[in-house]
A = this chain, B = another copy of it.
């Protein structure tokens, strides 16, 4: 039997788990340090909770869970109901045969068929529609068939050409019918066989949680959630079908102090991870709206930011050319000219934006919001990250209503964003609770892991292995060894006894190999008159010591 795991999923070895937990623990500790509370939601939600929240593409990528028991019941009921169309097909086909036999032309027959099907009383509209379609689509085939028509009215006892034709034709009719009634359609029929789905992100379940438990929650509610999510995406490097999200959100407060706090939170986590030199990019939806107002077309905003983002690579001339090609007028481009020289400090940028967006009330509000955050962060200071105003930042444009964040890894590492977030004014509206503003950020665990691996930042992570191994060459000593191990463990020193007693040279070598493979630091090789022979594998030093001395030496 071939063993393996589904594509896009991963097994994690002990070493990888230890490194991942190192990141998780720092994030968790910082979340709690900042006053965020953990919650957990189920891995699967009712489909109605998730479907329709992520756009059509998102719906497609949600993993659906088959109902338990006889999940096909409702589909069967629909599929089995094919008698009517089959019957009328046969009757109609018989009329057709009779007419052709009597010398009619296919063209004149067609009208009669349409007449019959259209005027059939009590017929289902799907039946009618499909029969008309199939007869009309297959005129050429039917005509061809009747040219070779040779059925003598005798009942045949094997498949002849005429029968095969009818069978194929009927198959097509039934197929069209099932498509028409949308059963066995992977889009429309899913709800017949599946009513649960694996969560796609943590935001929608969180919104559902807030609405469901609103009476038990003290607002503003600062929650964090670190759990896996699942997406039926095409797997590729760094993109998986099961991965963790680490989200912190606040709901129930519109205060900009939250925006400030999230910048501090990013800085704190990345500093603690030793990931120095990250850039926290910040923008505000209101500024983007202001730009849209100024360039005179909100539908051109994406084209505009995408083009502007290429300034580094293709220069002002290239960007302007692209904008013109996308239908943004020369006059509009002139109005936002300062964006092409947008290289100063955050304060410089804010001043330029203020002037540029003077005609847009919303744009100016965005400038003021950002200025509050930028000023506060300048006062407070950051440990290792830098805050950078980036007007090309437009992620989740349809979603965010205020601040937009994205974190870039240190410059010398090639990697997409390692975090992102923003403010959304109506998080819980989809579940009927209006006017609850939320703002939150997310950490991209898998990418952070890759960046840390590349920068060698896992060196200090303690791998899950025993510090001391007691070799097992002499069964009689085992009780003494087990008692010693008990004491070591009580002193929080990970230790173990090799379980099988070696009765040959080969088996002794196997135990030494275990020491090497697991890179164990200390080995108790022997017990000598109640004292332990301890070998330090780093320097080869060997000493004989009492239990207390042993504990001290390996601690």
| Cβ contacts under 8 Å, A21 to chain B | 38
- A111: chain B residues within 8 A (beta carbon): none
User: From residue A43, how far is it (CB to closest CB) to chain B in Å?
Assistant: 6
What are the residues of chain B within 8 A of A48 when measuring CB–CB?
1
Taking a contact as CB atoms closer than 8 A, the residue among B70, B80, B464 that contacts A32 in the complex is B464
Interface flags for A263-277 (1: CB within 8 Å of B; 0: not) read: 010001000000000
Inter-chain CA distance A25–B38, complex, in Å, is: 15
A525 to B17, CA, bound (A): 43
Q: A496 contacts which chain B residues (CB < 8 A)? A: 34-35, 222
Would A82 and B174 be within 8 Å (CB), given that A37-B464, A155-B91, A163-B87 are in contact? Answer: yes
Contact of A170 among B32, B83, B513 (CB under 8 A): B83
Assess whether B3 is in contact with A211, with CB atoms less than 8 Å apart: yes
Contacts of A235-285 to chain B: CB distance below 8 A? 242, 250, 253-255, 257-258, 260, 264, 268
Q: Which of A5-13, A311-319, A332-340, A544-552 is found at the contact surface with chain B? A: A5-13
Contact pick for A213, options B13, B80, B121, B380, CB 8 Å: B13
Task: Determine the interface band of chain A, counting residues with CB < 8 A from chain B.
Answer: 35 or more
Tell me whether B159 and A499 are in contact (CB under 8 A).
no
What does DSSP make chain A's interface, helix, strand, loop or mixed? mixed
Name the contact of A66 in the complex, choosing from B63, B83, B478, B489 (C-beta under 8 A): B63
Identify which of B43, B45, B94 contacts A155 (C-beta below 8 A).
B94
**In contact, B486 and A122 (Cβ under 8 angstroms):** no
What separation, in Å, do the CA atoms of A194 and B193 have in the docked complex?
12
Contacts of A209 in B (CB 8 A): 11
Cβ B497 vs Cβ A186 within 8 A: no
Stretch of A71-79, A361-369, A398-406 with 4 or more beta carbons under 8 angstroms from chain B: A71-79
* Complex Cα spacing A499 to B218, Å: 13
Report the Cα distance A64→B17, complex, angstroms.
Answer: 27
Residue contact A465 to B83, C-beta cutoff 8 Å: no
- Of the A-B pairs whose beta carbons lie under 8 Å apart in the complex, a sample of 28, sorted by A's number, is A3-B432, A5-B45, A5-B208, A11-B39, A12-B39, A13-B213, A33-B489, A35-B466, A37-B464, A37-B465, A43-B198, A65-B198, A66-B190, A66-B193, A66-B194, A70-B186, A79-B79, A80-B174, A81-B171, A82-B174, A83-B166, A87-B163, A87-B166, A250-B499, A254-B500, A257-B478, A264-B486, A379-B483
